[in-house]
Each structure stands twice: as structure tokens, then as C-alpha cells.
Amino acid sequence: MSLQNDPRSTRELIQLALTEEDEDAVWSLQYRANQEVLTAASNLCNSQNPKERELGATILGQLGIPQRNFPDESLTILLNLLKHEQNTDVLSSIGFALGHLRDGRAISSIINQKKKPNSSVRHGVVFALLGYEEELAINTLIELSTEEDDEVRNWATFGLGSQIETDTPAIREALYQRFLNENVENNYGIYGEALVGLAKRKDSRILTRLVEELSSDYVGILAVEAAAEMADSRLYPALIKLQQWWTGNSNLLETAINNCQEVNQ
């Protein structure tokens, strides 16, 4: 059954999503994305039941996928809900919904949730702020990049390193702290995102360690991505040797080699 042509009624799909946590039902509602679904989601957001409010926010976040229907109406409903919401699951859902909507008008409201004790709420805050070049969003990601929770810290580092082009001393320092202080064995993803972010900004402080990693017995894909971004001829010998045995993304490795070779010519 095609989700775009789901024959079930909006009410039936909502009941399925609430009682059986049926993801297909949610997607069908988001694909349908008509006035009836918007009204139903709005009503859910006004419910006394937090599970219903959570579902309402989730529906609004991607209403009309892959395009967007009623983005302004969805944003207004979500921001109104955010003003008084206390339930952590609902707050998390609002954060992710705002992240999908990608409307900068939400930044000043969602950052007020950054100190909530629940990590899923803070994760939602980070997701909502990804890709914005605004100083307020960047400063919040810098703050959350020192998070105790690994998932929040990982996404904040990813947001600073790869999702924006802004290059400031504060961003570099935040990334460098993750590069220096993450346990590579346990949190390679966070370390690697910092590595890529610093490479994009041509930060020479990572060069020695990057050569060492590219020359080691285990080479993560983020290290090769960092080499491609760094485009430094001093990485070229290690990349050529890596080509002999690495079984990762061959296209990425070829790009890294070409980028570092071009600097040499």
C-alpha cells in the first residue's frame, strides 16, 4: 500500500499512531498533508494528553514530505505549544519538528530549552539548530558541544563542524576541545566530526595526528573525509599507502588523494 494513497481515514491513522505507535500511519498523515490533517494535528497539540501533543508535533514537523504544506501554520502551532509545554517527550518532539521545518524564527524560542535536565530535550534543541549561521544558534551549539550526554555532544559537534561554513576562533576552539578530549575508542564519531570540522577550516593543529591516523592499522572514514577537506600535500604519502589496503569508501579516498596531490603540483 502506497503511503501517498493510504485509504484509511485521518482519524483512523491517528488512532493507530497513538495506540500501536505505527510509523507508517504517521508518514501517511504527513504525506496526506491536507487541511484536515493540519486541523487534526493542531487539535492534538491542544490536547491534555502528552502522548497526543507529542504526535501532533511530530506530524507538523514534516507535514507535506518531501515538500512542505502549511509551514507557517505549523511553525505557529509548534511555537505556541513550546511556550507552556513541560513534558519532556513533547519538548523533544517539538525540537525535532522545528529542525525539520528549518525556519530561523524558531531559534530564539528553542534555545530556552537548552538547560533542561532531560538529554532528549537538549538533543531536540541541537537538531533544531543545525545548519544556521546565526550567532545565537552557533553559540548554543558551542555550549552544547561540551554536553555530558554523548548523543547531544556528538550532534552539536557535527553541527559546528560540518553543517555551517562560519569560521571563528570560538568555533575552532570548541571543535579543538573535542578533538583533544574525546576518547577516540569510545567516541570516535565525536572526535571524527571535530576532525572534519577543523580540516574544513584548514586548522594545521590537526595535521600531525591526522597523518598518524592515516598511517595506522585502523583508519576511520571521517579521517579520510578530513584529509579530503584539508587538501594538504603532507597527507599525500599516507593516503597513497592507505590505497593499498583500505576497504572503505573508495571514491572518498580518491577525492582525498586528488585534493592533496593537486596542492603538490
Rounded Cα distance between 198 and 218, Å, is: 21
DSSP state of 244: T
Q: Indicate whether 2 pLDDT > 90.
A: no
Q: Which residue has the higher pLDDT, 162 or 22?
A: 162
pLDDT value at residue 1:
53
pLDDT tens readout for residues 138-184: 999 999 999 999 999 999 999 999 999 999 999 999 999 999 999 99
Q: Indicate whether 263 pLDDT > 70.
A: no
Report, as an integer, the average pLDDT of 202-223: 96
* Spatial contact of 197 and 162, defined as CB atoms under 8 Å apart: yes
Spatial CB neighbours of 1, under 8 Å, sequence gap ≥ 6: 7
Report, as an integer, the average pLDDT of 97-104: 97
What nine digits make up the cell of 231?
587538501
* Spatial contact of 228 and 252, defined as CB atoms under 8 Å apart: yes
Report, as an integer, the average pLDDT of 226-230: 97
Q: Indicate whether 3 pLDDT > 80.
A: no
Res. 21 pLDDT band, cuts 50 70 90 = confident
Q: Indicate whether 37 pLDDT > 70.
A: yes
- Closest by CA position to 99, among listed 163, 193, 36: 163
Of all residues in the chain, the percent with pLDDT exceeding 90 is 92
Spatial CB neighbours of 253, under 8 Å, sequence gap ≥ 6: 224, 239, 242, 243, 246
Report, as an integer, the average pLDDT of 62-75: 94
Helix and strand tally (H, E) in the chain? Answer: 16, 0
Q: Indicate whether 240 pLDDT > 70.
A: yes
pLDDT value at residue 120:
97
pLDDT value at residue 66:
83
Average pLDDT over the chain, rounded to an integer: 95
Q: Indicate whether 18 pLDDT > 60.
A: yes
pTM of the model: 0.93
pLDDT value at residue 6:
82
